[in-house]
Amino acid sequence: MASHYDFDVLVIGGGHAGAEAAAAAARLGARTALLTANCDTVGQMSCNPAIGGVGKGQLVREVDALGGLMGRAIDATGIQYRVLNRSKGPAMHGPRAQADKRLYQLEIKHLVESTPNLVLRQEVIEGLRFEPLSQATAGSPCRRVTGVVARGDVQYRAAAVVLTTGTFLQAVMHTGEAQTPGGRAGEGTTAGVSRSLADLGFRLERFKTGTPCRLHGGTIDYAELQEQPGDTIPQPFSFLTDSIDRDQLPCWITRTTPAIHELIRANLHRAPMYSGQINSQGPRYCPSIEDKIVRFADKESHQLFLEPEGRRTHEVYVNGISTSLPRDVQDAMVRMVPGLARAEIMRYGYAVEYDYAPPDQLSPSLESKPVAGLFLAGQINGTTGYEEAAAQGLIAGTNAALQLRGEEPLVLSREQSYIGVLIDDLVTCGVDEPYRMFTSRAEHRLALRHDNADRRLTPIAERLGLAEPERAQRLARKTAAIEATLARLADHRVDGVTLADRLKRPEVGWAECVAALPELAAVAAEVAGQIETDIRYAGYLKVEQQRIERRREHGERPIPEGFDYGGILHLRAEAREKLERIRPRTLGQAGRVSGITPADLALLLVHLER
């Protein structure tokens, strides 16, 4: 007799998207099951042992501001903290931290296990369960998900399912000519979910990603390398963390050489990307070393970062040398790198080719268009990176729970957050390569700084029930401190000029304000930094807000669900086909669909006004 279990929300996959999705749904009161093939790999870092970076750091702080797990986990387990792009303005700063890889994974697992309403269970999922919808309309789902089937004919029933299967859908690993099934070294693959999605009418395509080799740190000659220390005062990721007090470990920098490039060129015929063994697209902004040699043939060297994977292991990650070359070539290549002449490889690099579902098949809530109640998040949507996955997972899990409560979904706009930029890019424009977040993708990045993520998003999290009381209380205290300090700056004058006006000058910093008004020394560094940035950029932010308002004038004009694009006379066939497929919610979103022209929008606007 088949076993069966009933839940409100099922989350399939225990990576960064799955952990955030399950925790978010459970925080909103949904009885949630996180089903993963291996409970020991929940939150595992499959590739680099780091969180954050330019664009990505903003995502992590937004996830934290909404009550997510990632910021707290990296603050508990980080071994080095650096803010990137410090020489540029605050909007370009990107917090990044190296993690103790094993401890980070254990911390995420602990946070998941400690979440009320959440059950973690080890299961291999072989397919989806669904039922037809009798009253489906044009452009709306014709089926509804009802659960999943696990190996051994185990039935899980739920009204909402979140798929976060990462790189495991019909995955194949490549190291030179050798091919093995699996989405990660030492683990298997999943075929049943791909078949279920195809049977439900989803388009599935293939992407590839890669990872570099790992070295034994005891065989590295650090005297030949350039040391890269962390920041003197580490900046936490979570708004709940007051400070980071532990010692930091250094990273190290070296470079490839012309001789290494010649070795790689001589073996390109054995590289799966160039032998024809792999035909799918990889991430342009995180290319393999063989791809770098071909695309940047004029460069004599490329920088490599040696990143420790933890305090209790000698394993070192070689950032910048992702590869799927054969083992013998990897051995020779590594030992030609300055400082690595005696280096021993502990794990060889490889590429993974896997199925993903193009994200234009999703609504902005991350619910699928073909199947009601089915949400997708993470690399299954064509993204790359832990941070992008976590952001999607949090939104998908939140919206799965909100749907069960009969409430409107959480859809963050591009003006509100990097998460809004990420999801709008995915569902509106689709992807032709694995998507990675950059600050350049956010047109309102001056207002979307990592330091003000709590002020932008925690009130939303508090309203929905995502934010714990401590988070809301901290924000209230911080907001009150900012307002009180601004009042003091506006009241105190030096040579007839208020401190608030003096702080607008680029040559004046917070230290000068403290010298003029010593009581400001008691203001917390976090509050002082926010005030300094807010005042200095007030003029720019005012212009930015005016631009946002102008865009909203027509951009927020809603497009009715099930709108008949076939009824618009003179609309181009290409525009009609793309609008029917994407089903934009607003006129602004329609304008961001690739290939939609101003003339197409004008026709659509006229039709809407009628």
Mean predicted lDDT score pLDDT of the chain: 92
Name the CATH code of domain 214-350 (choices 2.130.10.10, 3.20.20.100, 1.10.287.130, 2.40.30.260): 2.40.30.260
**pLDDT for 602:** 79
Specify whether domain 556-609 bears CATH 3.30.70.270: no
**pLDDT for 458:** 98
In angstroms, the Cα distances linking 482 to 455, 487, 506, 530 are 11, 9, 20, 8
User: What superfamily would CATH give domain 4-210+355-438?
Assistant: FAD/NAD(P)-binding domain (3.50.50.60)
- 363, amino acid identity: S
Q: Is the dihedral of CA 428, 432, 434, 438 positive or negative?
A: negative
Quick one: DSSP state of residue 163?
A: E
Answer whether 4-210+355-438 and 556-609 agree in fold.
no
HEC string for 179-215 = EEECCCCCCCCECHHHHHHHHCCCCCEEEEEEECCEE
* C-alpha to C-alpha distance for 39 and 284, rounded to whole angstroms: 32
Mean pLDDT of the 437-442 span:
89
Element (H, E) at 476: helix 469-491
pLDDT at 361 over 90: yes
Residue with tokens 């072989």: 126
* C-alpha to C-alpha distance for 519 and 150, rounded to whole angstroms: 63
Domain ranges of the chain: 4-210+355-438, 214-350, 468-542, 556-609
pLDDT at 1 over 70: no
> Using an 8 Å Cβ cutoff, are 12 and 125 in contact?
yes
Mean pLDDT of the 363-369 span:
96
**pLDDT for 224:** 97
Outline where DSSP puts E strands in 204-332: 205-211, 214-216, 226-228, 251-255, 303-308, 315-319
Name the CATH code of domain 468-542 (choices 1.10.10.1800, 3.30.429.10, 1.10.3210.50, 1.10.10.10): 1.10.10.1800
* C-alpha to C-alpha distance for 382 and 93, rounded to whole angstroms: 26
pLDDT at 610 over 80: no
Tell me the per-residue pLDDT of 500-548, one tens digit each, with 9 for 90 and over.
Answer: 999 999 899 999 999 999 999 999 999 999 999 999 888 888 888 887 7
Residue with tokens 């607003």: 586
Instruction: Specify the range with the lowest mean pLDDT, choosing from 15-24, 173-182, 519-528, 545-554.
Output: 545-554
Tell me the per-residue pLDDT of 111-159, one tens digit each, with 9 for 90 and over.
Answer: 999 999 999 999 999 999 999 987 656 567 889 999 999 999 999 999 9
φ/ψ bin of 336: left (φ > 0), alpha (ψ from -120 to 50), beta (otherwise): alpha
